[in-house]
Amino acid sequence: MTAPTHDPLTLSLSVNGETHDVRVPARKLLSDVLRDDLGLTGTHVGCEHGVCGACTVLIDGRPARACLTFAAQMEGHEVTTVEATGRPDALSALQQALHEEHGLQCGFCTPGIVVTFEHYLRENPDPTAEEVRDVLSGNLCRCTGYQNIVAAVLKAAARMRGEAA
Amino acid sequence: MSGDFTEIGRALPRKEDRRLVSGRGRYLDDLAFPGALHVSFVRSPHAHARILDIDSAEAAEMPGVVGIFTGRDLDQMTTRLRLAPPIEGLQPTELTTLPIDKVRFHGDPVVCVVATDRYLAEDAAECVSVEYDQLPAVTSITEAFAPDAALVDDSLTSNMVSHQSLCVGDPAARRAEAHRVVEARFSLHRHTHVPLETRGCVADWDDGRAHLNMHIGNQVPHPLRSQLAARLGLSESQVTVMSPDVGGAFGQKIALYREELTVAALSRHLRRPVRWREDRMENLMSAAHAREYECRTRASVSETGRILGLELEIDEDFGGYCFYPANYMARVIALIMTGPYRIQDYAYEVRVALTNKCGAGPMRAPMAITSWVMEGTIDAIARDLGLDPVEVRRINALGPEDLPYKMPTGELLEDVSPRETLEIAVDVIDVAAFRARQAQARAEGRYLGLGLCTVIESTTYGSEFYKSAGIPGSGHESAWVRIEPSGAVNASVGLMGTGQGYESPLSQAVAEGLGVRSEDVTVHMGNTDIAPYGMGSRGGRGATAGGGTLYLCALKARERVLAIAASMLDLNDAGGLRMRAGQIERMIGDDWQGTGLALVDIARRAYLDPLALPEGIAPGLDFSHSYDPPAMTYSNSTHACEVEVDPQTGAITIDRYLVAEDSGTVLNPIVVRGQQQGAIAMGLSGALLEQVIYDGTGQNLSATLADYLVASPNELPKFEILHHNTPNRRTPAGIKGMAEGGVMGAIGVLANAVSDALAPRGVTIERLPLTPQSIRALLREAAPSSTKRTQP
Ligand code: FES
Ligand code: FES
């Protein structure tokens, strides 16, 4: 019998404001293309079934699971990954607050949380702790018990509003 | 004691964070290996079956497939794992790298497919056909011990792979003279670790040098290297283990797993880099499981609730394979059971069953059930005698006057404070005020409950512990500290962090010993060619064994630095000198004053002008040290929590959670607090939601994160942590270690609080997890007729 062939498609992807041309099979997940073909390894894969949130990226500015998306669906859309937010020597307000509040341990869940809340805080600059917990429930963290992540998001929100925190 | 420290105890944010929070960490899958092959495993769909035939002809022809390997192939390339420590009552076991004749659980790896790409490897794995002859599956302890049970391991005489007992004092006599004998039962369910990063590895065989470079997130790089070398027939010089950033482990990344050994063997066989990343389903089904125990206690008590004698039975479901000696976890539970209480007449019996499930291993607090069993027994005594559970704790608890205290098993408790943490927790949660609220709520038909749980946490296991356990092995740790010609400070130790955040606290231990700032120290871990041979990270040994060894090594370095400084200052000796923040200071009058000399000047002399060094001092500034901690160190804590149970839905709300902790000298309070919160969260998540479920035929029904539920922030409370730290007098800097006690306390306190809440309904929690369904079932069973709704 003939084995299935997976002829690559040529895609033009817009990621973090840059255009990349890649040749990948139609079935290749966005998470794998970001990581393997574009070298953007900050997007993590924790479950590949849409539960853990480690692979969260922004698609046209909205949070989405990269593990539930084919790269081939992304032509004509803008993808934003954690790499677009801060650098080790120039952290964003949220990243800085996560550092100060000890909001990460192994850090595997962290990029997904950063991407989720960079977006959330833009639309909701003054959330309550309960609201932060509700939104955070889409991101699994096995290490921290979440309390410090909640504190960090509230601290970052206050700073982004220009309040001392 | 801790007041004198300048670096130890600083709330220094973690050094790891900047790279991790910005997505620039380097986890295993982030490492690129050009030309690497990918593997996918064909796994058993049956719990117990003979392998009759494997047909891989079709798969071998598929695109990208490089090779397909079975247990028989791997048996040619590797040696078998034989576990036969000289422990009475433990049956020796032996297993091949992949099964050859039969599979022992749903998810057992049978065939390894190697291809140029992961997608293609999975395609081909689907086309490998394996013919099985199904055997009866053993899916519970009761089935395993039944006289006609099928044998899980054909080479054993029964499924009882381990059986030990001990009797100290005269528990039978205590039973005879007791006012009451109170019995209690505790059934803990099967958990699994769920590190957010699953297992995986890259084996990169260097054919020219005949050397294996093994990249793998692992807690114990050196013991892993020893295992890899032995099983591949290589010398330990031919294997380097390198652990990159790791996305959590919790005990799941200690053993050399069969998949990892397969990947290493195939890299050598194919002379190519080979990589494997398990998917989440494999992780939940086939990595390692934990905690499945049935415990029974029988306490002989006086009228006032004083425990005169305690008898304990533990049965453990160990799954299908032994990656650890089968008594490894249960033994510790039995050993420390009496924990915070004055008990001298004690007996235990521990039986471990093999079943057709995934093999068990240590999971953060392998002895987690201990505190629930002991504290649940205390509550059972209080219920039985109609006494206040706080009073029963008080009358039995160890106080300062009892220390040091030798437990009936011979374990020595020193510098612990269980009665103090109990009183702090009782006081802060305000038990009296809670009881008033509870009475009021009950009158309104609401069910509030308060739980207490005092924990004695075994943290650091010294060599003496292993010796008395009959396990060949060591509890020591090794470190080096090197001051470079520029004055830069590098250090290394045999631990490997998997997310705890070792870099800051271990830098602090070095900085304290040497006299520099923690920010100026770099600690290198995870590469077996760089780090000294150490026993790695397990239990709560990181701080005492790792931090302690680094601290002692840095003290050695300081002594040399100050000796050189003294000669440069034309002093006879270094008596009046110290180093702070890398500056040499001299005591003049009653004041420390700068000398103008800094570490960089000492380093320059040691490396660039060694002939000017004082006599007897060798060039360079390179130090190493090994340290073997006491047989065991202990931390302690008391957890208290308030819950409300909704009898209509069975839902549990945690209204308040606090813990009073004694973890000795703390290297870094930020990291310690994070470990406490994380451990409590893991305990609560396990007690409320998590459960590995096998059906009666041994099919695993919890292989996605939608089935195996891990707590989200909505199920977890805010944690209040109160400190009552007393240093250990026998360890460097008074360090005790911690990180597992939170799990122990959380499980026990939650079960006790729910029992308290549902006491008016006649419900006592004997079985976890406390899902809404299980609470509803308990309420129905407790009062079958009175709660039935009548149709109008
Ligand atoms: S990897 Fe996408 S949600 Fe878990
Ligand atoms: S920090 Fe490890 S999973 Fe969140």
Pocket test of ligand 1: the residue of A52, A109, A142 to mutate, having most ligand atoms within 8 Å of its CB, is A52
Task: Find the helix or strand (DSSP H, E) in which B626 lies.
Answer: strand B622-627
- Domain limit, last residue, from B587, B602, B627: B627
Do residues B279 and B306 share a domain? no
Distance from CA of B329 to the nearest CA of A (A): 22
Q: Where are the domains of chain A?
A: 8-84, 93-160
Please list every residue in chain A whose beta carbon sits closer than 8 Å to the beta carbon of residue B706: 49, 51
Residues B576 and B724 in one domain: no
Distance A146 CA to ligand 2 centre (A): 9
Of ligand 1's listed atoms, the one at least distance from the Cα of A44 is: 1
Distance CA(B201)–CA(B572), nearest Å, equals 55
Question: Under an 8 A CB cutoff, do B246 and A3 touch?
Answer: no
Element (H, E) at B160: strand B160-168
Chain B nearest CA to A163, separation (Å): 22
In a domain, B205, yes or no: yes
- Which residues on chain A are in Cβ contact (under 8 Å) with B713? 132-133, 136-137, 146, 149-150
- The total number of structural domains that make up chain B: 3
Virtual torsion, Cα B489, B495, B501, B503, nearest 10 deg: 0
Specify whether B641 is located in the same domain as B622: no
My answer on whether B563 and B612 are in the same domain is yes
B358 is a domain residue: yes
Query: What is the amino acid identity at position B156?
Result: L
- Say whether B96 sits in a helix, a strand or coil: coil
Å between B88 CA and nearest CA of chain A: 37
Taking the C-alpha atoms of residue B553 and residue B489, their distance in angstroms, rounded to an integer, is 13
Calculate how close chain A gets to B498, using CA atoms only, in Å: 6
Q: Of B30, B246, B713, which has the smallest distance from its Cβ to A150's Cβ? A: B713
The answer for B 26-65 residues in CB contact with A (under 8 A) is 26-27, 29-30, 32, 58, 61-63
pLDDT under 70: residue ranges of chain B: 1-3, 784-792
Interface of A with B in 60-89 (CB under 8 A): 81-83, 85-89
B436 and B371 assigned to the same domain: yes
| B457 and B319 within one domain | yes
Q: Which residue, judged by its Cα, is nearest atom 4 of ligand 2?
A: A141
Domain boundaries, position B608 = 17-23+476-627
| A88 → chain B, closest CA residue | B18
Q: Are residues B276 and B293 in the same domain?
A: no
Can you tell me the distance from the alpha carbon of B424 to that of B390, in angstroms, rounded to the nearest whole number?
A: 12
For B642, the enclosing helix (H) or strand (E) is strand B632-645
**Quick one: closest CA in A to B60, which residue?**
A3
Q: What residues of chain B lie within 8 A of the CB of A41, using their CB?
A: 23, 26-27, 29-30
Give the B window 215-254 contacts with A, CB below 8 Å. 245-248, 250
Residues B665 and B745 in one domain: yes
Half-sphere exposure in the Cβ direction for B453 (13 Å, CA):
36
Q: Looking at residue B645, what is its pLDDT?
A: 98
d(CA A66, CA A50) in angstroms, rounded, equals 9
* Domain assignment of residue B151, yes or no: no
B460 phi and psi angles, rounded to 5 deg = -115, 125
ipTM over 0.95: yes
Q: Of the candidates B17, B279, B500, which has its C-beta nearest A99's C-beta?
A: B17
Instruction: Write out the DSSP string of B216-254.
Output: E--S-HHHHHHHHHHHHT--GGGEEEE--B-S--TTTTS
- The DSSP annotation for B671-733 comes to HHHHHHHHHHHHHHHHHHT----B-TT--B---STTTS----TTT--PEEEEE-----TTSGG
The three-state secondary structure class of B322 is coil
Q: Does the distance separating the beta carbons of A137 and B713 come in below 8 Å? A: yes
Q: CA separation (Å) from B316 to B157, B187, B369, B513?
A: 18, 10, 11, 44
Assigned CATH for A8-84: 3.10.20.30
* Sheet of A8-15, strand order: A18-25, A8-15, A78-80, A56-59, A62-65
Is the residue at B576 inside a domain? yes
pLDDT of residue B98: 98
- As a whole number of angstroms, the distance between CA B318 and CA B355 comes to 7
Is there a single domain that holds both residue B387 and residue B280? no
Q: Point out the residues of chain A with pLDDT beneath 50.
A: 1-5
Q: Which atom of ligand 2 is nearest to the CA of B248?
A: 2
B719 and chain A in contact, CB less than 8 A: yes
B589 and B564 both lie in a single domain: yes
Q: Taking CB atoms and an 8 Å limit, are B716 and A147 in contact across chains?
A: yes
Q: CA B677 to CA B57: how far, in whole Å?
A: 52
Indicate the residue of B25, B63, B670 with minimum beta-carbon distance to A107: B25
Looking at the structure, do residues B667 and B743 belong to the same domain, yes or no? yes
Q: Tell me which of B627, B653, B670 is where a domain ends.
A: B627
* CATH annotation of A93-160: 1.10.150.120
Say yes or no: CB of residue A144 within 6 Å of ligand 2. Answer: yes
**Residue B203 falls inside a structural domain:** yes
- Residue B297's pLDDT is 98
Taking each helix axis from N to C end, the angle separating A129-136 and A110-123, rounded to the nearest 10 degrees, works out to 130
B491: Cα within 13 Å, side-chain hemisphere: 37
| Partner A, chain B 337-376, Cβ-Cβ below 8 Å | none
Tell me the C-alpha distance between B464 and B478, whole Å: 17
For residue B562, the domain's CATH number is: 3.30.365.10
Whether chain A has a CB inside 8 Å of the CB on B729: the answer is: no
CA distance to partner chain A, nearest, from residue B135 (Å): 32
- Ligand with smallest separation from the Cα of A47: 1
Distance B280 CA to ligand 1 centre (A): 10
Residue B577, token pair as written in the block: 């000198």
Element (H, E) at B461: strand B447-461
For B545, which DSSP code? I
In this structure, the answer to whether residues B200 and B280 fall within a common structural domain is yes
